[in-house]
């Protein structure tokens, strides 16, 4: 689902019409921050999962953008440790 598709879906359903495509991402990040505070996941993987930062890895961001096998990329980065909590 694209960002536009999600925004359209929110607007089509009046109770969710105030939300944007960033709303679920914000909620997911809040949830993962709580998991990191509990010590259940490393805090460093949250920005990687949110696609905000790749600096913790040796792979340049431009190289990562070329990866089409997203499940393999998640395993490579270790972000599956966070997504299991979502």
pLDDT at res. 55: 59
For tokens 């109770």, the residue is 15
Neighbouring residues of 25: CB distance < 8 A, sequence distance ≥ 6:
50
| pLDDT tens string 22-33 | 888 888 889 989
Neighbouring residues of 6: CB distance < 8 A, sequence distance ≥ 6:
21, 24
| pLDDT tens string 31-84 | 989 998 999 988 888 887 777 665 555 666 766 777 788 888 777 777 787 778
Q: What is the value of pTM for the model shown? A: 0.58
């Amino acid at each position: 689902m694209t960002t536009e598709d999600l925004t359209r879906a929110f607007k089509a359903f009046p109770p969710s019409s105030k939300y944007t495509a960033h709303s679920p991402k914000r909620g997911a990040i809040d949830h993962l921050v709580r998991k990191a505070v509990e010590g259940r996941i490393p805090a460093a993987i949250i920005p990687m999962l949110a696609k905000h930062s790749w600096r913790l890895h040796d792979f340049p961001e431009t190289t990562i953008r070329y990866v089409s096998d997203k499940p393999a990329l998640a395993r490579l980065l270790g972000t599956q440790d966070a997504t299991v909590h979502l």
